[in-house]
């Protein structure tokens, strides 16, 4: 595709330990992901997929090679600049929801906006808009403990959306849900990608969950074993 990729790895390696204890979690990986893609990153435990996700999310740095975000070499940024990049351009969805239990859905969404310095009026407006996008506008004043697992994950997705990020990184987002709720969440992510053109990078070990993505990247032993385009997501 023409233009600058949203995110790009240029010969990225991540090495832990030295000598006989050395582990190459990532081994000379080059890849790029464009704006608007829905990508599933797959692989067995220890394949490098979680390490790749941590570097993509600016939670870790490569041992060698370079990571570019919208053409900017992330390795040249200091810790504060990387934190700003995460805060303004990246949304995260985790397996464990990571919501404050005694706090309402709206208040959970307002938290990242408080860190960003938005006014109370702006925080409320954006939080309600994001809850509407995930179909939970009527649950704004419910605490996390009053919501089902599927609803909690929807709130977590709304929290990732509330800052209007360039990309959402979803790490095993259906891991704590039953099959029915899992597909409900994946259909929501698929819809957000198609209708709002939000880039989504999903880590999963489940083939049926990866089936919602239009591109599947499989890691093995720290390297990309395959990078496949699928013509469509799950039906």
- Write the pLDDT tens digit of every residue in 88-132: 999 999 888 889 989 999 999 999 999 888 999 999 999 999 999
- CB-based burial of residue 232 (10 Å sphere; 0-12 exposed, 13-18 middle, 19+ buried)? exposed
Do 217 and 41 form a contact (C-beta atoms < 8 A)? Answer: yes
pLDDT score of 235 more than 60:
no
pLDDT score of 233 more than 60:
no
CA–CA distance, 209 with 198 (Å, rounded to integer): 18
Q: Which residue has the tokens 């390795």?
A: 75
Domain 7-99+164-229, what fold? Answer: Rossmann fold (3.40.50)
The mean pLDDT of the chain is 92
Could you tell me how far CA 114 lies from the centroid of its own chain? 21
Paired sense of beta strands 167-171 and 7-16, if any: unpaired
CA–CA distance, 124 with 110 (Å, rounded to integer): 7
Do 91 and 160 form a contact (C-beta atoms < 8 A)? Answer: yes
> Which tokens in the block code for residue 161?
């959306």
pTM: 0.90
Do 227 and 49 form a contact (C-beta atoms < 8 A)? Answer: no
Domain boundary assignment for the chain: 7-99+164-229
pLDDT score of 36 more than 70:
yes
Q: What pLDDT is stored for residue 2 in this prediction?
A: 54
Other beta carbons within 10 angstroms of residue 67's beta carbon come to 20
Report which of 108, 110, 106 is spatially closest to residue 120, judged by C-alpha positions: 110
- Write the pLDDT tens digit of every residue in 1-31: 457 999 999 999 999 998 889 999 999 999 9
């Amino acid at each position: 595709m023409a233009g600058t990729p949203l995110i790009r790895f240029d010969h990225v390696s991540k090495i832990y330990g030295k000598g006989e204890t050395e582990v190459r979690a990532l081994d000379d990986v080059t890849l790029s992901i464009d704006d608007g893609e829905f990508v599933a990153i797959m692989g067995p435990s220890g394949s490098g997929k979680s390490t790749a996700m941590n570097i993509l999310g600016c939670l870790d740095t490569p041992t060698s090679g370079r990571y570019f975000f919208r053409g900017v070499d992330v390795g040249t940024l200091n810790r504060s600049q990387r934190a700003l990049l995460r805060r303004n351009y990246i949304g995260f969805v985790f397996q464990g929801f990571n919501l404050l239990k005694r706090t309402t859905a709206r208040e959970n969404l307002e938290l990242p906006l408080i860190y960003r310095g938005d006014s109370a009026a702006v925080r409320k407006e954006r939080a309600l808009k994001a809850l509407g996008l995930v179909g939970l506008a009527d649950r704004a004043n419910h605490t996390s403990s009053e919501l089902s697992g599927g609803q909690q994950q929807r709130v977590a997705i709304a929290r990732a959306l509330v800052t209007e990020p360039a990309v959402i990184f979803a790490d095993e987002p259906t891991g704590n849900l039953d099959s029915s709720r899992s597909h409900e969440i994946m259909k929501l992510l698929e819809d957000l990608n198609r209708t709002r053109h939000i880039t989504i990078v999903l880590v999963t070990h489940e083939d049926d969950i990866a089936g919602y993505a239009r591109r599947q990247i499989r890691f093995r032993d720290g390297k990309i074993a395959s990078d496949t385009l699928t013509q469509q997501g799950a039906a």
